Amino acid sequence: MKKNYTLSTNIYRLLIYIVLAVILVITIVPVWLMIANATRSTIEIQQGISMLPSKYLISNYKILLSKGLDLPRGFFNSFIISSLTTIVAVYFSMLTAYGIVVYDFKGKKVLYNFILVLVMIPMQLSIIGFYQYMVKIGLDDSYAALILPSIASAGSVFFAKQYLESIMLHELIDAGRIDGASELGIFHRIMFPIAVPGAFTLGIFAFVAAWNNFFNAFILITSRDKYTLPMLVQTLRGDVYRHEYGAIYLGLAASVVPIIIIYFLFSRYIVNGISLGAVKE
Amino acid sequence: MASKVRKNYYGYFFVAPFIIGFLIFGLYPVYNTIALSFTDTTLMKAHGSFIGLRNFERLFADSTFLTAIKNTWALWLMNFIPQIGIALLLSVWFTSTRLKIKGGGFWRMFFYLPNLMMPSAIAALFFSLFSFYGPVNQFLVRADLLPQAIDFIRSPSVMRGLVVFIQWWMWFGQTTILLMAGMTSISVAVYEAATIDGASMWQMFKYITLPLIKPVMIYVLVTSLVGGMQMFDIPFLLTDGRGSPANSILTNNILMYMKFRSSQGHIGAASSVGVVVFIMTTFVALLIFYLLREKPVEKYKEIKQ
């Protein structure tokens, strides 16, 4: 009986590993094909599928640039926007969450519940009103319109609050006060250094979200020299690149590979961070 | 402690930037969108006139809008159901102390990877893969699975299936990680007690796991719904940006964008799309949240059964 039981469990386990392997292939193949094709010439790509990289990376890059796609510029633009958005989102989310965790002020519970509700509201649907408002105050076609809204990112505050609660040491705050530090000084010099791992996780998510954001930039940015990477990716669909498959794959891979690198460097923070923002309450 | 009480009003200073930022960049745009939806404002003339509910009347009389709403719901549901299904299966496998699946971190790391990739690049990638001369056709024809290449991009059902697949592909890993976090927070003692009582794996799943991961499930459901109702990048970039073929992947946000970028730039009409979808989504999200909200007594009963 005992033996039978383990045998069926083992068959079941084998089956599970097969399913997992199949899903793994489905997850990786499209991405791998994109990266491999970025290094293959258009002729090679037309001749057949191959998972092996070839040696046309540089020539694909030259084709891409010769067709007027300013990839380095798009990279630079996306990097600036994403970095600034990250700094703004992390700082202000931590500040807000710290205020909610440390102080007992009137209306705190209401504010916190309101932030929870905000997570569930499709704010992107107010983009038209946002756009027209930015035109009125002269901020359309500017990066400020993309960066400043992250001062109030409900999801980040929620995450930051969960994190700060788990590491909060009220004794340290009291010690800081006895030493005569200001309230903001305590946040900057005592709590923030302790909260760096959480801020880092929060920062990765903010960076990736900003890096990948297409819709808002697509509505707000009109000057070509201000285009972000996702917007350049969108132009790859145009007629200019009709038969330049190698160059197209390179353009796509270039916008995705930095994130893949960040992911493999910091996957521990990222995978653990996902659940921290959601599980409690 | 005494110092804390005295300093409590500092809380307002700490949360003030968030509130001000929300009023300027969150609330006012919502108000402005609603205000615009009652006007015939275009990008050409800054000050449109008030036309009451006419934008909404036109919208509901327009079969394209109803198609967009139907499509968005269908595309979301068709990806969400398999997504939560696979995620439940995977998370039960990964957290089972009996199965002892090895390399949990390894699998999870790769399954989550698609979620971080730029949706617009992913859409363009799948467009290339499924184009007439693309790798998918190449593979199918050479393996003699197809007599000749198929023009996938012009097939409504293939494109719809592809949007659903890409959405599933991007989100099942994240959902798995969330459900796993919910499952690992359940005490092992509960399962041990159930095993002693002779409960089967399925009974344990139904009567212990499912009720206890309900909060996580609600979170996944609501955030996925809110995201799904705003679906844009994938269907927009997979075909021509108009929901082709035959409006099969036309979503709410694509329609809103098309009105916004029409030759006149009808931002009044575009706003009305945003307002209707905003109200619909928020209503359904809050409804789900309140209907499924944890009721302590009921939870106890479920475990007791």
Q: At residue B126, what is the residue type?
A: F
Give one DSSP letter per residue of B88-115, joined into a string. Answer: HHHHHHHH-TTT--S-HHHHHHHHHGGG
Q: pLDDT at position A1, please?
A: 43
pLDDT tens by residue, B68-113: 999 999 999 999 999 999 999 999 999 887 788 888 889 999 999 9
pLDDT tens by residue, A56-98: 888 889 888 888 788 899 999 999 999 999 999 999 999 999 9
Q: Does B232 touch chain A (CB under 8 A)?
A: yes
User: B96-100: long-range contacts (C-beta < 8 A, 24 or more apart)?
Assistant: B96/B201, B97/B188, B97/B191, B98/A9, B98/B201, B99/A9, B99/A12, B99/A13, B99/A16, B100/A13
Chain A neighbors of B11, CB-CB under 8 A? 99-100, 102-105, 108
Q: At residue A117, what is the residue type?
A: V
How many A×B Cβ pairs under 8 Å?
A: 289
* C-alpha to C-alpha distances, B124 to B11, B35, B121, B240, B247, nearest whole angstrom: 47, 36, 5, 11, 19
Rounded to a whole number of angstroms, the distance from the CA of A56 to the nearest CA of chain B is 18
Q: At residue A112, what is the residue type?
A: Y
Chain A neighbors of B217, CB-CB under 8 A? none
B61-304 belongs to CATH 3.20.20.70: no
This model of the complex carries an ipTM of 0.90
Confidence of residue B296 (pLDDT cuts 50, 70, 90): low
* C-alpha to C-alpha distances, A265 to A200, A262, B177, nearest whole angstrom: 13, 5, 19
Read off the tokens for A222. 């009109």
Q: Which of the residue ranges A271-275, B171-175, B289-293 has the most confident prediction, judged by mean pLDDT?
A: B171-175
Rounded to a whole number of angstroms, the distance from the CA of B305 to the nearest CA of chain A is 24
- Of the candidates B111, B251, B292, the one whose C-alpha atom is nearest the C-alpha of residue A122 is B251
Q: Is the pLDDT of residue B240 over 90?
A: no
pLDDT tens by residue, B181-210: 889 888 888 888 998 998 888 898 899 999
Task: Say what the pTM is.
Answer: 0.91
Chain A neighbors of B36, CB-CB under 8 A? 128-129, 132
Rounded to a whole number of angstroms, the distance from the CA of A234 to the nearest CA of chain B is 7
* C-alpha to C-alpha distances, A56 to A41, A64, B202, nearest whole angstrom: 6, 12, 53
Q: Is the pLDDT of residue B1 over 60?
A: no
Candidates A92, A102, A183; nearest CB to B17: A92
